[in-house]
Structure 1
């Protein structure tokens, strides 16, 4: 009897222990907490939605459920501006020699060596002006204006007075004649004055040059470096670095504010009346990227293509040694001694074939330009890390790179690995 009672007691104790254990588990489950992934301050003891953003609440990890951060997992959970995980196509660079043809947009402009000023030799008032508009054609010896000048009128009367009153004083007469020459009169005008014995009230100004009239301050046509894209051909078919047709803007300087001087205007001694440009010889200005200027030198042969007929060969005569308005281009001047078929302001395509360049080459798509820095993505165990590189000369498909070795595995399309909202961090 006593043994049966003991068994019942043990059985009761076990039942009570099991009940207490079940109650403990329910109590533990009852104390689970839930929070919002976006707003950690929102905490609840039961599932639901966030009152701030409406997202579903998630249960916090219980004791023993924490994820162990291994070295591999830590590498893969870094910020996307430090590493990228992807299965993008990869390439390896190659050290070799490539023949490069640089091509750039150019524009036909004035040859400043054939630009002349016609100044007012005496001060006075313009009674007539025969030049009516900018870019008007003018020939050497053509009358361009008539000026009333008290100074010149007085000098003519002094010369005539000496001829009438002191004809034997050749010294004074010659001195008076030289004064008329210095004031702008020609030998024919002085001879006509001697024959007529009466000074004209106005003095005719003749053009000493042939060409086209441009007013003072006219800007020569120039290609806009900010708008031009520089195509580069690597000898394997022409294409553009930007993948689009190069564009350019020109400025001929023919606005109304620079219209020719008008009748009735007063001019002073030495003032420029007109500027004549002779277009029998022109020059072409070409914008070359700064990185390519070092490999181009004076005397290199340039092939010019105007889009009509075969190309014309010319020689680089001048490389501008300074920047213009902080632009990343240098101007290369090519002089054209025979300008048949060319017009000022016309766009041309210039090509310079360079000797084979030796370097470490990568596809251009493998390099991403961040402005101040250029970056490639190096793959290690399926993870891509950015690395800063230095680029050199480029062809239509390849670019020479420093900072990458032949054993490095590089992402073939670096632009695909750049998050639009991330800034790439590189280690120096």
Structure 2
């Protein structure tokens, strides 16, 4: 009996001990986990999926678009505001490639390669024209590409206009001893029509008038264009055939703006073609176009080639090589042309800042001369740095999505937020009591603002410009002396300055994009004015999160229905009412 009691008590004690360690320990463990979670929450940052530049320590709404914030991705700690981190998977999918750059030595054998085409030598082009009016009875050249010799019969023309002149020749020939000057004048008249002495003598000897006359080639060449056909009636001087002498041709190349200083007239150039890659021609540059092509930023460079064998055909692709460009043997840093992005006057590359992780930073560089597929770099990079050489624009697109500096956005997230804040009206401003006259004047100005807004809604830049001029006139008439309170005067002076600046730019341009850009600041100042001084009607402050390059923009309306002035018909209903101003 005593043994049984001892066994029962022992079992109870063991059970209590096991339960304590099992449940008590788990409570402590859960407490520790909870403490860890709270610590993790304390370090968690929250961002907006539409505006990644927004970073807040607590969840809530995006201050730009009002969307719910989401937890920011981990792993961005330690990055500078200008750096972007990509995943290995994204790198592989986009085929992003990098290269370590090093100094290259320029030598006396440095070359420039130009691309271009073989063209007809315009100096050897000739137009064969009809020297008298008539109908083409027979055309002896029947197709383009046909070779023509000087003196060859090209066509015969029925020329009734020559009948009277021939009759004059026959008549004056019988009295040439009595009136030699008249006789000679008639012969000269026929010579002006390109009749030869032999033809004129034949007419005089036969005493018969000819109605059909031949036209002979004045030069040798190749027919490049037929400008008339048999049976056509042609006037005096009208072209019949176009001939080109292809014994010489032009090699016409395009040289980039930064290569101009290295190219001179008389410089030797070696030319090859895709058709005959093993055959090289040596020529000299005979002409450099004095006018730059502003769309391609190139100039035309020309060399004349001997083509006695006729193997060079106009239209062939050609490559020109300029050698011995005077390299000094100094070391220069060269990068592939594919690594460079251009935005206006600026040249940008992406540098890999961490050799072990895909972290990149946009860097502005100063480029030197182009040599083949590479650029010399004078500033911005140093030997040994690793840059993106393939997929540069993909990296830049990722930077834009993450709200980092990019080719299109040169400010960091904080600066972008500050820029946005400056275009947001203050809807919490307190009303200041002003005179009825000032309120009436401001109401007139507000009506002009609504007309401007409606013109932008309708996508009519010319109407917006006209409405802006009306607004500008009303603003000039507004009498600020009605404001007696100092705070009211100070507030209006601030709003008036913005209104004047913005409306002047809108009224001076019919470009609706520029008008909409200026309408942002105009609406901000107008909203603040209405909020502080009041107008004689109920006004709705409305907001579009996508306007102003996704920074958001406000405007005023007399209707609750959204009609977006920043996008017009393309996104008319985009936006929401933010405040009702009584």
Counterparts of 1:120-131 in structure 2 under 5 Å?
Answer: 120-131=130-141
Structure (1 or 2) with the greater strand fraction = 1
TM-score (norm 1): 0.66
CA–CA distance in structure 2, aligned partners of residues 347 and 416 of structure 1? 29
Please point out which of 260, 265, 279 is paired with 1:293.
260
Q: Does residue 334 of structure 2 align to residue 362 of structure 1?
A: yes
Deviation at residue 388 of structure 1 after TM alignment = 1.8
Distance 1:92 1:336, change over 3 A: closer
SS at match of 1:356: coil
Distance 1:339 1:386, change over 3 A: farther
Counterparts of 1:239-318 in structure 2 under 5 Å?
Answer: 259-306=226-273, 307=276, 310-318=279-287
Deviation at residue 162 of structure 1 after TM alignment = 0.5
Could you report, residue by residue, the CA deviation over 1:283-340 in whole angstroms, capped at 9, with x for unpaired residues? 2112333332331111111112242654221001011223458234332111124533
SS at match of 2:126: strand
CA–CA distance in structure 2, aligned partners of residues 207 and 349 of structure 1? 35
Corresponding position of 1:425: 406
Distance 1:389 1:359, change over 3 A: farther
Corresponding position of 1:375: 348
Deviation at residue 132 of structure 1 after TM alignment = 1.1
Q: Does residue 406 of structure 2 align to residue 413 of structure 1?
A: no
Deviation at residue 193 of structure 1 after TM alignment = 1.3
Distance 1:264 1:334, change over 3 A: same
Distance 1:363 1:86, change over 3 A: farther
Distance 1:359 1:151, change over 3 A: farther
Structure (1 or 2) with the greater helix fraction = 2
Could you report, residue by residue, the CA deviation over 1:118-144 in whole angstroms, capped at 9, with x for unpaired residues? 222111211221121112211111111
CA–CA distance in structure 1, aligned partners of residues 87 and 367 of structure 2? 25
Please point out which of 354, 361, 372 is paired with 1:385.
361
Structure 2 segments unaligned to the other structure (5+ residues): 1-23, 46-56, 58-74, 89-96, 412-582
Structure 1 segments unaligned to the other structure (5+ residues): 1-21, 33-59, 216-258
Distance 1:266 1:336, change over 3 A: same
The worse-fitting range, judged by mean Cα deviation, of 187-196 and 305-314 is: 305-314
Distance 1:412 1:366, change over 3 A: farther
Distance 1:371 1:149, change over 3 A: farther
On the 8 A contact 1:127/1:148 being kept in 2, the answer is yes
The worse-fitting range, judged by mean Cα deviation, of 83-92 and 203-212 is: 83-92
On the 8 A contact 1:103/1:350 being kept in 2, the answer is yes
SS at match of 1:195: helix
Please point out which of 318, 324, 328 is paired with 1:348.
318
Could you report, residue by residue, the CA deviation over 1:168-209 in whole angstroms, capped at 9, with x for unpaired residues? 311111111000001221122112112211121111111111
On the 8 A contact 2:155/2:215 being kept in 1, the answer is yes
Counterparts of 1:4-403 in structure 2 under 5 Å?
Answer: 62=38, 65-67=41-43, 75-76=78-79, 82-84=83-85, 91=100, 93-94=102-103, 96-98=105-107, 99-215=109-225, 259-306=226-273, 307=276, 310-324=279-293, 326-337=295-306, 339-345=308-314, 346-353=316-323, 354-356=325-327, 360-364=332-336, 367-370=339-342, 372=344, 373-378=346-351, 383-395=359-371, 398-403=374-379
Distance 1:90 1:180, change over 3 A: closer
CA–CA distance in structure 2, aligned partners of residues 108 and 416 of structure 1? 34
- Provide the aligned C-alpha RMSD in A: 3.7
SS at match of 2:270: strand
CA–CA distance in structure 2, aligned partners of residues 272 and 359 of structure 1? 59
Distance 1:288 1:210, change over 3 A: same
On the 8 A contact 1:119/1:270 being kept in 2, the answer is yes
The worse-fitting range, judged by mean Cα deviation, of 303-312 and 204-213 is: 303-312
Corresponding position of 2:380: 404
SS at match of 1:157: helix
Distance 1:276 1:124, change over 3 A: same
SS at match of 1:189: helix
Could you report, residue by residue, the CA deviation over 1:34-92 in whole angstroms, capped at 9, with x for unpaired residues? xxxxxxxxxxxxxxxxxxxxxxxxxx96478411789x96552858xx43479997645
The worse-fitting range, judged by mean Cα deviation, of 299-308 and 277-286 is: 299-308
